[in-house]
Structure 1
């Protein structure tokens, strides 16, 4: 009975296997989901924070460099996912082994549980403050947390509905904030003349732009794998993240620059668009939390090797809701620092492993006899992460970018070292397997 209900009400998400050609979708629904995913209030908040720290000319430079790096990273991961039909967690199984990939499930799934909890708490704070219901923070937060998570149980179709609904208010926001900002100071020339009240280095500013959504970008393959061709997946992933993040960040930057206010909610309130601000935040957090719940459901299903993600969505919702009402809001900055160090090198590792080991021929997952751990890539990940951390400590380059490049390069280096030492840590496959073949 439960199996029939699952098939009737929940999409087939191919959680533990390749997405077949028959299930591939056009670019429009995938673009809508990924674009909606990038419409996130924390990116706006990061933009507002930078808006008080740099003049507009420098803000534009930081915005373009940071988002081109991030969007290219996302696009490459999306290309690989559509080529193979696999989500991020399953790609990590090829990269790190059957047990090694569990770390990916923990870090990405755990990241999304934390992200969900933070945004549920944010929703509760905004809602109760606006309505004067501060004493009802806990029940209001619990309601929104459970309500938003229900859409993830519907699968990708449920997410498409939310994504479509979330786009119109953000198109309004993209127009309204720059308009009000320009009118407030008297013109575009006056925007460029505003002097910041705080300071930040270029490297730190670019790191904030990249780090604000590197975790979400690493999990974009969860939806891009449904694209009909790899080229489509790359284009959709690249453009969705480039457009979405620039719109969100520039809105926050201009608001923060003109109002010299780092809190994005206060910026919207000072601009006199409180009703639209509330409406926008509801749809914004609803969209991103739906995708977050979907992501930690997929991660949990892979971790326990179960085809049904729903129990893990429910379990994650319970944990996230408890975190949301018990003070998770206070450790947000520390969380972003953690993401900027540990996640980029993981994505770089997956890219490097595909380029140097599977690009010509990737056996289907059901034909694979996975090693427990691929030690060469695990060592590469450890050193790439260490390199990203040290570059942050000693202010060398951009830590997220360093993590990505080190992850890619060290896969090749460790492969050569293992070959010289005569160590074989490749997965075993039958002599005759059907490779994954997706055109484009």
Structure 2
């Protein structure tokens, strides 16, 4: 299926094989999601709460876990050729997926857009003030960048592909230069200074996995453009691990030696404000366009829109996200991360059981369900409740409980159908 439209040609239907992309194209999109100020903030949070070695190791383990989950969930997308909101219809039913699950996805992506936009607006205003003495209200900066980032998101996967091919190599080079210059300027003595530990190693892993919870769950939004399972593995692991770890280490090191996780402001401190501005703009742009894009995909499901209305839905949701950012939602960043992990990791467990166990990992045995599939919702509710248990690891509790409950309920249902 070919199209002369600049926007992508498919939204909810399986992506034709001739329109699928190389693993490197999708890996760059995945990397672009992670190269952002909040990824640096994650490293800063961990470095302020525990010794830097533990901070980095807990983050690396968290990223490894989420990369493997992205592979397992992403292969469902590449096998079926459909986004997450359609994958969910197998576990929650088409009505359940479109009216509730997709609504949750949509709200989360609007929230991520708001968080990213708010952080970007604040950092941009601070950069202008410190480097050039120009005072731009944060709300104005937030609105400005919200509009700019929406432009790319409207045009879909093809625009994301082109943006990331240019932006990611540039960001890697510039941030490496900035890190070396910052270490030269501030030294490394602060890295070995003792710090009061306020977060356990396990909690550091949980925070990192929670940070990536939405990315793991929404992997099919992008892996549906992969031709093979091998492509999905490569794009997920190579797209997530190097970029995620680099941002983690950079944020942790900058926080400890410069008392500032934001590399754009570190550039300002070492006398290179223009490079700092370039990093801030490109990093937020490559990330937030994907948030608005995924929100638009889910809006098509939630509101029963025609597929060619995705662009309009993306604009409307992006405007809402920008408004939320302007009123300060970014201030609730850490609590937002934990909530996402607790809410979405049980769904990941349900997806894995539905496709890899019940459907034997085969498109032939995978069938979307009509209406509302209550087994999925019962498993989700119990999985979410288990994240509040006073023992274990919250996201593990949620995934395992939801997966076991779903498997048991489905086994009972299928036994009844046979009888």
Tell me the TM-score normalized by structure 2: 0.89
Cα deviations by residue, 1:12-56 (Å, 9 ceiling, x for unpaired): 1x2111112222222121111111111121111110121122223
The 1:273–1:51 alpha-carbon spacing in structure 2 relative to 1, beyond 3 Å, is farther
Residue aligning to 2:397: 402
Alignment pair present for 1:21 and 2:22: no
1: CA distance, partners of 2:402 / 2:71: 17
Pairing of 1:23-422 with structure 2 (within 5 A)? 23-101=19-97, 102-132=99-129, 133-134=134-135, 136-176=137-177, 178-180=179-181, 182-183=183-184, 193-261=192-260, 267-305=266-304, 306-308=306-308, 309-359=310-360, 361-362=362-363, 370-390=369-389, 394=390, 396-419=391-414, 422=416
Cα deviations by residue, 1:248-283 (Å, 9 ceiling, x for unpaired): 111111112223446666555445543322211100
The 1:200–1:273 alpha-carbon spacing in structure 2 relative to 1, beyond 3 Å, is farther
Contact 1:56-1:191 within 8 A present in 2 as well? no
Contact 1:191-1:258 within 8 A present in 2 as well? yes
Contact 2:47-2:256 within 8 A present in 1 as well? yes
Deviation, 1:299, is 0.4
2: CA distance, partners of 1:50 / 1:128: 25
Q: 67-76 or 298-307: which moved more?
A: 298-307
Count, aligned residues: 410
The 1:75–1:323 alpha-carbon spacing in structure 2 relative to 1, beyond 3 Å, is same
Structure 1: gaps spanning 5 or more residues: 425-440
Cα deviations by residue, 1:101-126 (Å, 9 ceiling, x for unpaired): 13221111111111112222222222
Q: Secondary structure at the match of 2:407?
A: helix
Deviation, 1:72, is 0.5
1: CA distance, partners of 2:96 / 2:111: 22
Contact 1:196-1:257 within 8 A present in 2 as well? no
1: CA distance, partners of 2:417 / 2:264: 56
Cα deviations by residue, 1:309-367 (Å, 9 ceiling, x for unpaired): 112102102211221222222222221121121011112211211112223543599xx
Contact 1:16-1:307 within 8 A present in 2 as well? yes
**Greater than 6 Å deviation, 4+ residue runs:** none
2: CA distance, partners of 1:181 / 1:130: 16
The 1:169–1:347 alpha-carbon spacing in structure 2 relative to 1, beyond 3 Å, is same
Q: Secondary structure at the match of 2:226?
A: coil
Cα deviations by residue, 1:112-156 (Å, 9 ceiling, x for unpaired): 111112222222222223224545443432222112101111121
Contact 2:254-2:262 within 8 A present in 1 as well? no
Cα deviations by residue, 1:275-311 (Å, 9 ceiling, x for unpaired): 3222111001111111111100100012223312112
The 1:137–1:186 alpha-carbon spacing in structure 2 relative to 1, beyond 3 Å, is closer
1: CA distance, partners of 2:280 / 2:354: 39
